[in-house]
Amino acid sequence: RPRKASPLSATEIQHQAPSLFNAYFLCFTLGVGVITASHAFLYGFVSIYWKSIGIGDSVVGLLWAWGVVSEVCMFLFF
């Protein structure tokens, strides 16, 4: 199937590019990056901790899967 054409032309996209350097957008992007980095740090080390206290790899995987499903459900309802 052929793709649909973009509703924006190339010149419109080029005119919108400077808005990516808006101070509010950059602060928002930095904040999202810090939150994501902190979660990645937690996820990595909590997996190591769970393995060190004797929880098996499959159980750790199930815990992460349960966490993802519960997070999706939370976002769905809120």
Report the pLDDT value the prediction gives residue 10, as an integer from 0 to 100: 73
pLDDT in tens, 43-52: 889 999 999 9
Give how far the C-alpha of residue 32 lies from the chain's centroid of Cα atoms, to the nearest Å. 8
Q: Quote the CA–CA distance of 14 and 8 in Å, as a whole number.
A: 10
Residue pLDDT, tens place only, 1-35: 777 777 777 777 777 777 778 889 899 999 999 99
Helix, strand, coil percentages for the chain (3-state, nearest 5): 80, 0, 20
Residue-range domain boundaries for the chain: 10-77
How many whole angstroms separate alpha carbon 64 and alpha carbon 70?
10
Task: DSSP for 33-66, please give it.
Answer: HHHHHHHHHHHHHHHHHHHHTT--HHHHHHHHHH
